């Protein structure tokens, strides 16, 4: 499949549907639902799961069928943290390891690289990158959460300096 993967419908709607293509009403009708945390996730991954499900529920883009991809992200995060800790604990001699064939690049570096690549790839699907977040504007707070008066004030009409007129 050439090009970037398609954006979730909820993210397109939050961006104001810039492409003006018809959105899937089935995706918009389904409310955000917190998927159950898989039992096989380790402690670090479960911690990341709780953090990310909170963020994604607030953005109203999380659904039950996101469980597999989100759990993979969380476990990759946990594996990366573990590999980084082990790599750090090796001290100054951490870049190369001695083998019978001579010094080799530490295999932990490859694990770190693979996990980082996986995290970057999956994070783009959930809109975790700064570029994706900058394009998303939410009109109303998550149900049950009060609107911030300062945010409402700051989100008011923008004045154009030269003509001193309101830009819509």
Q: 3-class secondary structure for 31-58?
A: CCCCCCCCCCCCHHHHHHHHHHHHHHHH
Count of residues in the chain = 168
Q: Could you give the percent of the chain with pLDDT greater than 70?
A: 65
pLDDT average, residue stretch 8-30? 68
Answer whether residue 72 shows pLDDT above 70: yes
Residue 77 CA to residue 132 CA, distance in Å, equals 20
Per-residue model confidence as pLDDT tens digits over 84-126: 999 999 887 778 877 888 888 888 999 999 999 999 988 888 8
Instruction: Quickly list H helices, the chain.
Output: 9-14, 25-29, 43-59, 67-89, 107-126, 130-135, 149-154
Which pLDDT score, from 0 to 100, does residue 92 have?
78
Specify the 3-state DSSP secondary structure of 167.
strand
126 vs 13, more confident: 126
pLDDT average, residue stretch 10-25? 72
Residues 6+ apart with CB under 8 A from 59: 10, 11, 14, 32, 127, 136, 138
Which pLDDT score, from 0 to 100, does residue 78 have?
97
Tokens of 116: 């980082």
Answer whether residue 145 shows pLDDT above 60: no
Tokens of 118: 């996986």
Q: What is the pTM of this model?
A: 0.64
Burial of 117 from C-beta contacts in 10 A (0-12 / 13-18 / 19+): exposed
Answer whether residue 140 shows pLDDT above 60: no
Residue 155 CA to residue 164 CA, distance in Å, equals 17
Answer whether residue 41 shows pLDDT above 50: yes
- What is the chain's mean pLDDT, rounded? 77
Answer whether residue 16 shows pLDDT above 90: no
**pLDDT bracket for residue 132 (50, 70, 90):** low
């Amino acid at each position: 499949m050439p090009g970037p993967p398609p954006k979730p419908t909820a993210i397109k709607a939050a961006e104001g549907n810039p492409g003006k293509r018809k959105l899937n009403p089935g995706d918009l009708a389904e409310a955000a639902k917190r998927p159950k945390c898989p039992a096989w996730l380790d402690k670090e991954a479960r911690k990341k799961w709780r953090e990310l499900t909170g963020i994604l529920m607030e953005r109203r883009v999380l659904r039950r069928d996101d469980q597999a991809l989100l759990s993979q992200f969380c476990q990759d995060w946990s594996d990366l943290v573990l590999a980084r800790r082990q790599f750090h604990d090796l001290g100054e001699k951490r870049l190369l390891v001695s083998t019978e064939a001579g010094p080799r690049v530490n295999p932990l570096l490859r694990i770190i690289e693979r996990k980082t690549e996986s995290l970057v790839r999956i994070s783009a699907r959930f809109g975790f990158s700064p570029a994706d977040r900058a394009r998303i504007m939410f009109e109303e707070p998550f149900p049950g959460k009060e609107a911030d008066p300062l945010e409402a004030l700051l989100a008011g009409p923008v004045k154009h300096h030269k003509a001193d007129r309101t830009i819509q």
